[in-house]
Structure formats: structure tokens, C-alpha cells
């Protein structure tokens, strides 16, 4: 007979390992290339000592002259707070009791719930990799009933729970915990479960922001932060540490092999960095394939970690990701990235050691996966971004 105790045991002993593997390697092709480590985690923070520049104790001299003065490597400390990443599944008491005499039916129930959790988590964590840590999904510029006009709909999926915030990050009255009921990528509209248009004022070009429920300012430090214009990165001031600046080039037109190769060459010249992974939007990938086909250029296909397939440029895999910003291509050395974590995915346990707990006052049971981590790039100047690419 299936009981809550046996369900709890199954989540801990069987599903945890499988779900962790999927979230770590199959959630996103870029994430699958990034090393994960518990090193450099101190309490609630990640403190990573990084080296920049070259050793200054090198020089030439005469047979009887002075030796070069010892001037060691340049070091700096990156500091960031571990981000709290959660994923919750919910099972009704009725569903459990309906399948208590059929182990197969209950397994199917758990499988469906865990598959849903993996899909939602994969989408959300994949999105964070391209974000700037603020949790911003899109900017809202107009509202018509429950439909909001946004600058891009790529970060949305039906079923997401979001908050509507002012440009300063304050919650709009009645605008928290709303479900996304429809997404129109072409019209760039997102429809919510409630009409809050009366609470929004777009006078003087005012805008609002959409973020995942309760996540504003609490997400991973993704590529958006590394290539952004913020004053600081990992606790260091950009203006005082020019080596924090990556290579950024506005193509503002058609993609070309020259633009790609120039970025690769500049990274090797400036930082000794060798690009080993390229990620772009689907439209940019199509434009690149069109460019290669014009010159009868054959592109090899390679298989990456996690089972992903990618075309290549001079041996470098090129992956399209729906969550990558439009008209953008990132050229990365993934050896410089690490997801620092307090531990791998774990179930949030109660005082009694159970992971399935009843929601107070409701015939529902929930279980929550948790991971405390943040992403650090030890050599931002060794990464590149091409923007403004005309998509196909």
C-alpha cells in the first residue's frame, strides 16, 4: 500500500539523484559546460581569489647587474552572496488516496510531478544564466486589460507566477503572485490572471517591470551582469579595475565571419583567453547558417555534454538558446566560469526529517528542492558579446 511515508522515502532515495542530474547537466547546454564546486564558499558568501595581469618580476640584465625586482601576480577577491534557488512540487491528498492501492499509479503521479518540476526549473535556471541578477523578466510599456505589452516575451511561459513592480522595484498593488495565462511572442504581450491595468500609469513614459514571484534582486549573477553597465561586479568597481570589462561590439547589421573572428582574436590578444563555446539566439543562428551557406561553407556538428548537438565554427560549438537575448551572440571561455554552491540539490526537510509536508489548512502536500549557489566568472575580460545582429 502506498503511504505518505513511502512517498517521502521515494522522493529522498530515488528521485533526488535523478532530478539533480537532470538539473545540473540537462537543464541548459551552457550550464552543462560550467564546472560546479563547493570550494570558496564561506558561510553565506562566495569569496573567490582571482589573478589578473602578469607577474612583474621578469626582466633582462647584465652578467653582473641587479636581478629583476620581485613583483608578484596581481590578485583581487570576488565576493558575492549565495543565491537561494527553490523548486516546489505539490500533491493533493485526494490524488495520493486514489492511488494508494496501486503502486504503478502512484509512481506515474510522482513522475508527472517531478517532470513538471524539472521542466519549470530548467527554464528558470537557464533564464538566470543570461540575466543580470535582478530577476527582471521584461519591461512593461502598456496595458490593455490583463494583457501587458513587454519589450521581449522570451522569458515567459504559460503557468509562471510573476510580480509586477515599479521601475524602482516596489510591488504594484494587487500585482504580486499572478499567473501567466498566455504569451504572444510576435505581439510581445503577456496576459496575467488578473487585470491590474487600473493600477498602472504610463504617463511621462513610465514603465514597469515583471519578475518571477519574490525573486527580484535575488537571482544568479548571469551574463547580463558580466556584460552589463553596472558600477560594480562581484564587489569590485569597474572603473578602477579595467580588467573586469569584457569585449563588447555592436555589429548593428548582418553577421559575418570577420566579426566573429575579430572577437575571438581580441580575446586571445587582450587576455590570453581561448573561446570554447558560443551561444546565441535562434534568429542569430539561422542568420549565421545562411551566411555560411552563401559561401558553400560546411559546418560540422558536434555533441556536447548533456546530449546537446551543435554546429561548429573552427571547432568551437555554436548553440542556440531561446533564452539568449535577441540579436546577440556570446563568445565564452567556459573554463573561466564556476557555479559555486554550498551543496548540490537537496530536499528541504522538516524537524521530523520528512520532505513531504502538509500545507496548513489545506489537503495538499508539498516538497521543496533547494540549492544555494552563485555563478562567478574569474576572467570577465576573456569573454565577448556581439550585439545588434540582424536575425533571420
pLDDT, residue 245, reads 94
Look at residues 217, 255, 222 and name the one whose alpha carbon lies nearest to residue 383.
222
pLDDT, residue 249, reads 96
pLDDT, residue 203, reads 83
pLDDT digits (tens, 9 = 90+) for 234-257: 999 999 999 999 999 999 999 999
Span 362-374, average pLDDT: 90
Q: Helices marked H in the chain — which ranges?
A: 4-10, 16-21, 29-33, 93-98, 103-129, 223-226, 257-271, 282-294
Span 363-384, average pLDDT: 93
Diameter over CA atoms, the chain: 91
Q: Quick one: what percent of the chain has pLDDT higher than 70?
A: 95
Higher per-residue pLDDT: 59 or 55: 59
Span 376-390, average pLDDT: 96
Look at residues 146, 276, 279, 116 and name the one whose alpha carbon lies nearest to residue 210.
146
pLDDT, residue 96, reads 75
Whether the pLDDT of residue 282 is over 80: the answer is yes
Look at residues 282, 272, 292 and name the one whose alpha carbon lies nearest to residue 336.
272
pLDDT digits (tens, 9 = 90+) for 163-195: 999 988 899 999 999 999 999 999 999 999 999
Mapped onto helix, strand or coil, the DSSP state of residue 364 is: strand
* Average pLDDT of every residue of the chain: 88
- What Rg value do the Cα atoms of the chain yield, rounded? 24
pLDDT, residue 244, reads 93
- Distance from C-alpha of 216 to C-alpha of 203, rounded to nearest angstrom: 24
* Contact (CB, 8 A) for 371 and 347: no
- DSSP bridge partners of 317: 312
pLDDT, residue 56, reads 62
Read off the pLDDT band of 302 (50, 70, 90).
confident
The Cβ of residue 181 has, within 10 Å, a number of other Cβ atoms equal to: 15
240-271 b/e (C-beta count within 10 Å ≥ 16 → b): ebebbebbebebeeebeeebbeebbeebeeeb
Q: Quick one: what percent of the chain has pLDDT higher than 90?
A: 55
The Cβ of residue 29 has, within 10 Å, a number of other Cβ atoms equal to: 22
Whether the pLDDT of residue 110 is over 90: the answer is no
Output DSSP code: residue 348: -
Whether the pLDDT of residue 307 is over 80: the answer is no
Secondary structure of 185-248 as H, E, C letters: CCCCEEEECCCCHHHCCCHHHCCEEEEECCCCCCCCCCHHHHCCCCCEECCEEHHHCHHHCCEE
pLDDT, residue 102, reads 67
- Distance from C-alpha of 260 to C-alpha of 339, rounded to nearest angstrom: 27
Whether the pLDDT of residue 155 is over 90: the answer is yes
32-65 b/e (C-beta count within 10 Å ≥ 16 → b): bbbeeeeeebeeeebbbebebeeeeeeeeeeeee
- DSSP bridge partners of 374: 340
Whether the pLDDT of residue 71 is over 80: the answer is no
Specify the residue for cell string 543570461.
130
pLDDT digits (tens, 9 = 90+) for 119-129: 888 888 889 99
- Distance from C-alpha of 337 to C-alpha of 179, rounded to nearest angstrom: 33
Whether the pLDDT of residue 288 is over 80: the answer is yes
Output DSSP code: residue 9: H
Read off the pLDDT band of 296 (50, 70, 90).
low
Read off the pLDDT band of 146 (50, 70, 90).
very high
- Distance from C-alpha of 6 to C-alpha of 58, rounded to nearest angstrom: 66
Span 21-31, average pLDDT: 81
The residues near 43 (Cβ < 8 Å, ≥ 6 apart) are: none
pLDDT, residue 57, reads 64
What are the CA-CA distances from residue 325 to residues 41, 125, 133 (Å)? 30, 15, 15
pLDDT, residue 137, reads 94
* Contact (CB, 8 A) for 137 and 188: no
**203-207, 248-252, 358-362, range with the lowest pLDDT:** 203-207
Output DSSP code: residue 171: B
119-152 b/e (C-beta count within 10 Å ≥ 16 → b): ebbbbbbbbbbbbbbbbbbbebeebeebbbbbee
What's the length of the chain? 392
Span 118-144, average pLDDT: 90
pLDDT, residue 54, reads 67
**33-47, 234-248, 294-308, range with the lowest pLDDT:** 294-308
Q: 277 exposed, middle or buried (CB, 10 Å; 0-12, 13-18, 19+)?
A: buried
**90-99, 122-131, 178-187, 309-318, range with the lowest pLDDT:** 90-99
pLDDT, residue 2, reads 63
Amino acid at each position: 500500500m502506498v503511504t505518505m511515508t513511502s512517498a517521502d522515502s521515494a522522493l529522498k532515495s530515488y528521485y533526488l539523484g535523478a532530478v539533480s542530474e537532470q538539473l545540473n547537466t540537462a537543464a541548459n547546454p551552457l550550464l552543462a559546460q560550467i564546472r560546479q564546486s563547493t570550494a570558496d564558499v564561506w558561510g553565506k558568501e562566495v569569496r573567490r581569489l582571482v589573478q589578473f595581469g602578469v607577474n612583474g618580476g621578469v626582466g633582462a640584465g647584465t652578467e653582473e647587474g641587479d636581478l629583476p625586482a620581485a613583483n608578484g601576480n596581481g590578485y583581487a577577491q570576488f565576493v558575492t552572496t549565495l543565491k537561494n534557488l527553490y523548486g516546489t512540487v505539490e500533491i493533493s491528498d485526494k490524488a495520493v488516496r486514489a492511488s494508494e492501492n496501486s503502486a504503478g499509479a502512484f509512481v506515474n503521479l510522482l513522475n508527472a510531478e517531478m517532470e513538471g518540476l524539472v521542466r519549470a526549473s530548467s527554464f528558470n535556471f537557464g533564464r538566470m544564466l543570461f540575466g543580470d541578477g535582478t530577476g527582471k523578466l521584461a519591461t512593461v510599456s502598456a496595458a490593455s486589460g490583463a494583457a501587458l505589452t513587454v519589450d521581449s516575451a522570451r522569458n515567459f511561459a504559460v503557468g509562471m507566477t510573476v510580480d509586477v513592480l515599479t521601475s524602482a522595484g516596489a510591488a504594484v498593488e494587487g500585482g504580486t503572485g499572478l499567473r501567466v495565462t498566455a504569451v504572444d511572442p510576435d505581439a510581445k504581450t503577456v496576459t496575467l490572471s488578473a487585470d491590474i491595468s487600473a493600477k498602472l500609469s504610463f504617463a511621462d513614459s513610465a514603465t514597469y517591470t515583471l519578475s518571477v514571484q519574490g525573486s527580484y534582486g535575488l537571482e544568479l549573477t548571469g551574463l547580463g551582469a558580466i556584460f552589463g553597465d553596472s558600477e560594480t561586479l562581484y564587489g569590485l568597481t569597474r572603473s578602477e579595475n579595467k580588467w573586469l570589462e569584457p569585449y563588447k561590439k555592436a555589429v548593428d547589421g548582418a553577421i559575418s565571419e570577420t566579426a566573429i573572428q575579430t572577437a575571438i582574436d581580441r580575446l586571445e590578444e587582450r587576455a590570453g583567453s581561448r573561446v570554447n563555446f558560443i551561444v546565441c539566439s535562434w534568429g542569430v543562428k539561422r542568420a549565421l547558417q545562411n551566411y555560411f551557406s552563401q559561401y558553400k561553407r560546411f559546418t560540422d556538428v558536434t555533441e556536447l555534454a548533456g546530449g546537446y548537438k551543435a554546429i561548429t565554427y573552427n571547432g568551437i560549438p555554436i548553440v542556440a538558446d531561446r533564452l539568449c537575448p535577441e540579436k546577440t551572440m556570446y563568445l565564452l571561455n567556459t573554463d573561466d566560469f564556476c557555479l559555486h554552491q554550498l551543496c548540490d540539490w537537496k530536499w528541504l526537510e522538516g524537524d521530523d526529517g520528512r520532505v513531504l509536508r502538509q500545507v496548513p489548512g489545506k489537503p495538499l502536500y508539498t516538497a521543496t528542492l533547494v540549492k544555494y549557489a552563485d555563478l562567478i566568472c574569474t576572467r570577465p575580460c576573456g569573454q565577448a558579446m556581439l550585439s545588434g545582429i540582424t536575425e533571420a
